[in-house]
Chain A
C-alpha cells in the first residue's frame, strides 16, 4: 500500500541493525592547547582545592538532591512547627478530619506560588473560590485548577500533574469522598512514587485518613470552634474558626504533639471593628486563642 510511507528497515530497526560507522582515519589525539605551563599549574594546586572540584553533571545532581531535602513551609507557624519546618519535598503529607483543612490548603498554595513555583489543586469537591484565593495571596497565574468528578479521576489527575513537573500538588476531597468506586491502596503508593521521582510535594486533604503508610506525615484536624465578635444582642461578626491539629504520624518526629491554629475572616481583619482584631500580626493571630469573643460551642 503506497500510503504506508514507512519502510520496514527504517521503522523496525531491530530487524537489521545499522552498520557501525568507523572513521577511515584514526584521529590523532591533540592536546587542547594546554602547554607545559598549564600542566605545571595543575600540579601545583593544593589537594584540598582539587578535591572540591566537581563536574557539571555532578553539580546538577547535587542541586537536585538538595532540592529534595528541602522543606516547603506552609507559612502557618504552628503547623510548620508541628511538621518540623513544613511539608517535605518529594513526599506525600496528609491532613484529615474536621477543621480548617481547606484554609491550610489555601495558605500552602499561597506559600508555593509566592516563591514562583507551579502548583496544581485537584479540587474534587469543586469548592475553590478564586476571589478568596487571590485575597489570601495565591498567585493565580501559577495555579492549575483541576475539577474531577470521581475519585479515580482525582488520583489520575494528581499523578499526571505530579509527573509533569508541578512542584506542589494538592488533592482536596472536600467534606466527603467523591462519588465512584473507592480507589485501591496501590493508587496512593503510585502517587507517593510520583512525588519521589519528580520531587513534587503532594498534600492530601481528606475527611478521614486515606493514604495509610504511604504518607510521610499525617495531621489530624479536630475540634473546630467558630469565634464571633460581639455579645448577646449586639451585632455579631464571624471572627474566624479555631482548630486543633495533632501530629498522628511522622517518619522523623515523635507523634502526639498538638497545636492550635486560628483562621480569621477577612471582614474581621478590618481595623474598624470594635474588638480591634484586625491589626494583629499573623503570628499573634495564629497563636493567641484568647479573643474577646463569644465562644458558642464547647470543645467536641
Chain B
C-alpha cells in the first residue's frame, strides 16, 4: 500500500522571507504583492495579525491600522531557495519527491516507517501513548487500538518536522495513502497528522468543503446546494454530481471519498545548490555585503551537508544598481563546506576586482561534489587538510599573482623549458609508512626565465662541429652573479648587475633538438655545455641565428 507524506509550509511567502531575515520574526511584518495602489497584503506575522492586518488588505489600509507595519515585497529568490531547501529536506527521507510549489512537497514514504520503528516500546518513557500529540484525534484515540506502523509514521513525521525547523521553515506534515488526503492532513493546525490506510474517507468526512481546494472551484455552488462538509458531498450519488457539474464534479466526488488517482511525480536531483537575496537598498561597502553573504553561505553549507555534498565551484551573481549584473566563479582546490574558506575566497576575489557599482541583490550557486575525506593516519603520512589547503593557496595567489602557485607538470615536448602550472590537488597519502626511494643523484640546473641572449664567438674544431670560444651577455638586467665569497658578501646585494661572459675553457656539444618538424616553422636548436675560465658551467643554445643561455649547472 502506497504511503505519501506532504510537507506544507503555511504562509510560505512569509516563511521564505523570515528564513532570510530571522530578526523580523517577532516584528509586525506584512508581505506585499503588487505596486502602487494595487499593493496588497498576502501574508503577515502573528504580531501584525493581532493588530488586524489580514491577507487581502491594501497596503494603505494596513498602514492605517498599523502605521509601524514593516512592509516587505515578495522575494522570488528567497521563495525559490526556500522551496529548494524544503525539497532537500524531503530528499533526506525519500528519494522520490515531488515539487508541488509554494511550500508544498510530496514524498513517497512507503516502507520508510521501518527506519523509525521503536524497539523499546513498552519501557518507561519511550514510545508510550502518553507521548502522543494528537490525543484528540480519533486516529490516536486510546479507545481505538492503532498498529505499530502508525507509531512509526508519527515518529517519521516528527523527525521531518525537526528537519524543517533546522532549515528555519515552520512546516506541517501529513501522511496518507493519496496526495489529496496527505495534503489535507498536512494543512490541519495540529501537526503531524497520520491518516491510516483505508481511512481517508472517514478522515475527510467531517472537514469543511473548503479543505478540498484548489480542486474545489465549485465550492460556492455546492454550498448553495446545502452541502457543508466533505462527507455530505461523498454521500451523494456520483452520477448526479457528474450530470450537474460534469467531469469536474466527478473528480470532486472522488476527492470527497478520498480517491486520488494522481500518482507522485518525482523530480530529478538538482545539479546545484542556490541561495540568494534581494536587498532593500544598495550596498556600497564590502563588509556589509560579506556580513549578509556569510549567512547565505551558512545556509548553503547546511543544505549541502544534509545531502553529503561539498562545494567544488562557487558561482555568485551580483545584481547592480541601477542595472546590470556581475557574474563570477571561484574554483575551489578541493570540495569544501567550510563557510570561512568560501567567504575568504569571495573577499579576495571582490577585493581584487570590485563590481564597480552598488549591489542590490545576489545569488550564490554551489556546484556540488563529494567531499574529500582527510583521514587521520596512524601509520602513514598525514594528509593536508583540503580546506586549509584551499584557503592557503587562495591567499598565496592573491599575494603572488596568478601562475605563481600550483603544481608543476611537464608538457609533452622536447624543449627543456616547457612546463605547465596546474591546480595543486595531491592524491591521498599511502596507508602505511614507506621507505624513501633511493636518489638518482642527478645534477640540478638552475633555469633562467626567460633565457638570456648572448653573443658568441666560435672557433673551428675537428670535424664539422664548431666550438664556442667565448660568450658575452647582451642582457642589461641581472643575469647570474657568482655566489659571494665571505670577503665579498657586502658587495653582492640583491639585484646586482653581473654579466655572464668570458673565455670558454671547455665546450661540449652540440646536441640537436627539433620540435614540430611537421609545421611551417619547426623549432630547431643546438645545445652546448660550456665552462668559463672565470668559473661556472652554463647551458647554451642556438635557435636560428640567435644565441641564448638558459641554465646554469649548479656550482
CA distance A174 to B444 in the complex (A): 12
List the B side residues contacting A165 at CB < 8 Å.
382-385, 388-389
Encode contact with A along B178-202: 1 for CB under 8 Å, 0 otherwise: 0000000000000000000000000
Contact of B446 with A127 in the complex, beta carbons under 8 Å: yes
Interface residues of B in 504-547 (CB under 8 A from A): 505-508, 529, 531, 535, 537
In contact, B447 and A179 (Cβ under 8 angstroms): no
Cα distance A14–B405 in the bound complex, in angstroms: 41
Residues of A within 8 A of B447 (CB): 126-129
A131 touches B419 (CB 8 A): yes
Asked whether B441 is an interface residue with its Cβ less than 8 Å from the other chain, the reply is: yes
Mask, A227-251, CB within 8 Å of B = 1, is 0100001011110110000000000
| Interchain CA distance A4-B283 in the complex, whole Å | 11
In this assembly, does A211 line the interface, its C-beta being within 8 Å of a C-beta of chain B?
no
Interface-located stretch among B19-27, B243-251, B263-271, B305-313: B19-27
Q: Which of B375-425 contact A (CB under 8 A)?
A: 376, 378, 380-385, 388-389, 392-393, 395-396, 399-400, 404-410, 416, 418-419, 421, 424-425
Q: Given A129-B447, A147-B400, A224-B555, verify A97-B483 contact (CB < 8 Å).
A: yes
When distances are taken between beta carbons in the complex, the residues of chain A under 8 Å from B531 are: 226, 228, 238, 296
CB pair A286 B489 closer than 8 Å: no
Q: Judge whether B494 and A180 touch: CB under 8 Å.
A: yes
Q: In this complex, which of B376, B380, B404, B436 has the most chain A Cβ atoms within 10 angstroms of its Cβ?
A: B436
Q: Is the CB of B381 within 8 A of A116?
A: yes
| Complex Cα spacing A207 to B492, Å | 11
With CB as the reference atom, state the residue of chain B lying closest to A165: B384
Do B292 and A99 touch across chains, with their CB atoms under 8 A apart? no
B385 near A147 with CB under 8 A, answer: no
Instruction: Let me know if B141 is at the binding interface, CB within 8 A.
Output: no
Known: A98-B483, A145-B405, A263-B441. A175 touches B506 (CB 8 A): no
Is B261 an interface residue, CB under 8 A from the partner?
no
Q: What is the distance, in angstroms, from B463's C-beta to the closest C-beta of chain A?
A: 9
Q: Is the C-beta of A203 less than 8 angstroms from some C-beta in chain B?
A: no
Q: Is B554 an interface residue (CB 8 A)?
A: yes
CB-nearest residue of chain A to B485? A98
The reply to whether the CB of B466 lies closer than 8 angstroms to some CB of chain A is: no
For residue A114, which residues in chain B have a CB less than 8 angstroms away from its CB?
434, 436-437
Q: Mark A128-154, 1 if CB is under 8 A from B, else 0.
A: 111111111100111111111101010
Most buried by B among A116, A149, A240, A265: A116
The complex places the Cα of A55 from the Cα of B409 at a distance, in Å, of 44
For residue A38, CB closer than 8 A to chain B, the reply is no
Contact with B along A90-120 (1 / 0, CB 8 A): 0000000111111101110011101111100
A141 is contacted by which of B292, B426, B440, B493 (Cβ under 8 Å)?
B426
A282–B388 contact, CB under 8 A?
no
Q: Is the CB of B392 within 8 A of A161?
A: yes
Contact residues on B (Cβ < 8 Å of other chain), bracket: 35 or more
Query: Which one of A43-51, A71-79, A186-194 contacts B?
Result: A71-79
B427 on the A face (CB < 8 A): yes
What is the bound-complex CA distance between A126 and B450, given in angstroms? Answer: 10
CA distance A153 to B446 in the complex (A): 20
Which residues in A have their C-beta under 8 angstroms from that of B404?
A: 146-148
B290 vs chain A, min Cβ distance (A): 12
Q: Is the CB of A160 within 8 A of B396?
A: yes
Report whether A238 and B20 are in contact in the complex, using a CB–CB cutoff of 8 Å.
no
Instruction: Determine the chain A residues whose CB is within 8 A of the CB of B449 once the complex forms.
Output: 126-127
Give, as a whole number of angstroms, the nearest-CB distance from A171 to chain B: 14
Is B116 at the interface (CB under 8 A from chain A)? Answer: no
Contact, CB under 8 Å: B416 / A129: yes
Contact across chains for A130 and B419 when beta carbons are under 8 A apart: yes
Tally of chain A residues near chain B (CB < 8 A): 97
A6, B290: Cα distance in complex, Å: 13
Q: Contact at B442–A238, with CB atoms within 8 Å?
A: no
B288 near A: Cβ within 8 Å? yes
- In whole angstroms, how far apart are the Cα atoms of A63 and B551 in the complex? 44
Residue B481 lies at the interface, judged by CB distance under 8 Å to chain A: yes
Which residues of chain B are within 8 angstroms of A115 by Cβ–Cβ distance? 381, 430, 433-436
- Measured in the bound complex, the distance between the Cα atoms of B383 and A48 in whole Å is 35
* Interface residue A82 (Cβ < 8 Å from any Cβ of B): no
Nearest Cβ on chain B to A234's Cβ, whole angstroms: 10
Set B400, B429, B551: member contacting A116, Cβ < 8 A:
B429
The yes or no answer to B126 lying at the interface (CB within 8 A) is no
- Chain B residue nearest to A135 (CB atoms) is B442
Judging by beta carbons under 8 Å apart, are B483 and A264 in contact? Answer: no
Q: Does B553 contact A (CB under 8 A)?
A: yes
- Report the separation of the CA atoms of residues A264 and B444 in the bound assembly, to the nearest whole angstrom: 9
In the complex, what distance in Å separates the CA atom of A72 from the CA atom of B409?
Answer: 25
Using a CB–CB distance below 8 Å, which chain A residues touch chain B?
2-7, 59-60, 63, 72-76, 97-103, 105-107, 110-112, 114-118, 125-137, 140-149, 151, 153, 156-157, 160-161, 163-167, 174-180, 207-208, 224, 226, 228, 233, 235-238, 240-241, 262-266, 269, 282, 285-286, 294, 296-297
What are 26 A-B pairs at a CB distance below 8 A?
A3-B280, A5-B22, A75-B436, A103-B442, A110-B437, A112-B436, A115-B430, A115-B433, A116-B380, A129-B447, A135-B442, A136-B440, A144-B407, A145-B405, A145-B406, A157-B399, A160-B395, A164-B384, A164-B388, A208-B483, A226-B531, A233-B461, A236-B507, A241-B443, A269-B440, A282-B439
Which residues of B are at the interface with A, using a C-beta cutoff of 8 A?
20-24, 70, 279-281, 283, 288, 291-292, 295, 376, 378, 380-385, 388-389, 392-393, 395-396, 399-400, 404-410, 416, 418-419, 421, 424-427, 429-430, 433-449, 461-462, 480-484, 486, 489, 492-496, 505-508, 529, 531, 535, 537, 551-555
* Extra pairs beyond A114-B437, A115-B430, A224-B555 (8, CB < 8 Å): A2-B24, A2-B70, A3-B281, A99-B555, A126-B447, A141-B427, A145-B406, A175-B480
Q: List the 5 shortest-distance A-B pairs measured between CB atoms, nearest first.
A: A127-B446, A114-B437, A130-B408, A116-B429, A263-B443
